Amino acid sequence: MIVIIGAGISGLTLAYELQKANKSYILLESSSRPGGYIRSEQSNDYLIEVGPNSILIDDAFDQFISELGLKDDVEDAAAVNKHRFVYKNGQIKQLPSGPASLLFSNFFSFKTKKVIFREFGNKSRTTENESVYDFFVRHFSEELTTYTIDPFATGIYAGDIKQLLIEDTFPQLVALEKEYGSILKGVFKKGMGTRRRTATFTDGLQTLTDTLASKLQSISFQTKALSVSKTDAGVEVSIQKDGAGAEKIQADKVVFCSTAFHAAEVLTSSFPEIAAKLNGVRYAPIKALYAAFKRSDVKHHMRGFGCLYPSSEKSFLAGTIWNSSIFKYRCPEDEILTTSFIGGMHRPEYTELSDNEIQLYAIEQLKEDLGITEEPTFIHVAGWKKAIPQYDIFLKEARKSINGLQEEHIYFSSNWTHAISLGSCIQNARNLALKL
C-alpha cells in the first residue's frame, strides 16, 4: 500500500491516478477538508479565492479537466487579461505588450530599449547559483529588471529576485541561453514552450480539488502523520486520527505531498539531517485584502489583469488582481472586486499588522492608485504565515537532501519539489503515479 501525506492538489491528483491504476493507497489529511491552500469562498454576492486565483491550462491539463467532467465549468479569462500594469514613479502604467509597443511607449528609457535589442548578441553564460536579478541585469538592464522581472517574481513567488535562483525559477530561460546565447533569439526561434491559457472555474478553483476528493475511495481527514521509519517490510507510518492515540500503518511506499516544513516534522526522528534541510526552506508570509467598490466610484478603467508593485517603489501593496475585470460573477454587476497582497519576502513585517491596520493602509493606497472616491462595499482579510516556497539556495539544498530517500521508498511531490504552478503540481503528481 502507498501512503500519501497531504490532500492538496498534488496529493489528490496522485491518489486519483493511483486509484485509476488499481494501486492500493490511503490519502492522509490533517485538516477536515481537501485542497490545501486552494479555497474558494462565497460571501453573499462575492466569490473570493483565499489562495491561488487562477490556473494556466495547457493541452495536458485540458485533457485532465475533461476526464474529471469539468470541461463545462471552466471559465477562460477575459481578453483584457493580457494587459498587465506596473506601478512606476507613483503611477499605474501599462507594460508594453510587444515589440511595437515597446518601441513607441515611454515605459522604458531609450537606453533600456537599445539594451533590449542588443541582447540578441549576448555571449555570456549563466553561472551556478546565479540569481534571477543577476541573470536579467546581465542580459538586459537594471531598469528592465526592476520594473518587469522584480514585480512579476513578486506576483508568482512573493520573492526577492536577488535570492531566487534562475536555474530553478526560470529553467526554460537558462535552456534557451545555453542553446542560443540570447534568450530573445531563443524565444523568437523556439517560443516559450507549451501555450497555456489563464482560466478558473465558474464556482472557483476549489471546484477542482472538491471534484478530485469526491472521486477518491480512500481518504482520511483529520489524520496527522506523526513519523515514518524504515522497516524490513517497507515503511512504517505513525498516525493520529481525530486526536486519539497513535496508530501505525505499514506501507510499501510513502509520498509526501505536503509543505517542506510539515515533511520535516514527520521525518525528524528517523532522518534528522534531512529534516533540518527541509526546515531551512523559506516560505514567504502573505496577507490578502479582498475589497469591492461601486464601479461608478472608481475612475481607473481597470481593463487588465491587475497591477504589480516593484519593491523599489516602497509601496504598501505588493500587487493587486482586478478579479472582476478578468472573470465573471465575482461580485455584483455594478461593482468591481480586487484582491491585494501584502508582505512577501520584501516586507514580511507588514503581515504582522492587525487586520484593521491592513485594511486602513491597503484601502488608502487603492483609493489613491485607482481614483476611488468612496468606501468599499465588501472587505475581507486572510493571511498565511508560510504561503509560498522560495526557490533559493536553501530550497536547492533541501531538494538535494531528499534524493536518496527514494531508495528508502520515500518520495515527494509538492509545489516545492519541481515547479510551483498548479498545472505543474498536477502533471508531476501524474508522472510520479506512473513510477510508483
- Summarize pLDDT for 284-325 with one digit per residue, the tens: 999 999 999 999 999 999 999 999 999 999 899 999 999 999
Torsion of CA 196, 319, 345, 176, to 10 degrees: 30
CATH 1.10.3110.10 range(s) for the chain read 98-189
Cβ distance 184 to 191 under 8 Å? no
Domain made up of 2-34+207-281+391-435: CATH architecture: 3-Layer(bba) Sandwich (3.50)
Q: Which residues pair with 199 in a beta bridge?
A: 55, 76
Q: What is d(CA 223, CA 19) in angstroms, rounded to the nearest whole number?
A: 20
> What's the whole-number mean pLDDT along residues 425-431?
96
> What's the whole-number mean pLDDT along residues 183-203?
86
Which residues are CB-contacts of 352 (< 8 A; sequence separation ≥ 6)? Answer: none
pLDDT of residue 102: 76
> What's the whole-number mean pLDDT along residues 346-352?
97
What would the pLDDT profile of 54-106 be if each residue is shown by its tens digit?
A: 999 999 999 999 999 999 999 999 999 999 999 999 899 999 877 677 777 88
Q: What is d(CA 203, CA 400) in angstroms, rounded to the nearest whole number?
A: 39
pLDDT of residue 101: 76
pLDDT of residue 192: 64
> What's the whole-number mean pLDDT along residues 364-368?
97
pTM of this prediction?
0.94
Residue 323 has a CB neighbour count (10 Å cut-off) of: 24
Residue whose C-alpha is closest to residue 18's, from 225, 150, 215: 215
Q: Write down the mean pLDDT value for the chain.
A: 94
Query: Is residue 193 pLDDT above 70, yes or no?
Result: no
> What's the whole-number mean pLDDT along residues 240-250?
90
Cβ distance 237 to 3 under 8 Å? yes
> What's the whole-number mean pLDDT along residues 329-347?
97
Query: Is residue 194 pLDDT above 70, yes or no?
Result: no
Residue whose C-alpha is closest to residue 395's, from 377, 416, 425: 416
> What's the whole-number mean pLDDT along residues 187-194?
76
- What is the greatest pairwise CA distance in the chain? 69
What would the pLDDT profile of 378-396 be if each residue is shown by its tens digit?
A: 999 999 999 999 999 999 9
Percent of the chain with pLDDT over 90: 88
Angle CA(88)–CA(293)–CA(204) in degrees, nearest 5? 90
What would the pLDDT profile of 399-421 be if each residue is shown by its tens digit?
A: 999 999 999 999 999 999 999 99
Q: What is d(CA 11, CA 26) in angstroms, rounded to the nearest whole number?
A: 10
The yes or no reply on domain 98-189 and CATH 1.10.3110.10 is yes
CATH 3.50.50.60 range(s) for the chain read 2-34+207-281+391-435
What would the pLDDT profile of 214-223 be if each residue is shown by its tens digit?
A: 999 999 999 9
Cβ distance 185 to 152 under 8 Å? no
pLDDT of residue 85: 95
Which residues are CB-contacts of 412 (< 8 A; sequence separation ≥ 6)? Answer: 255, 256, 257, 263, 402, 405
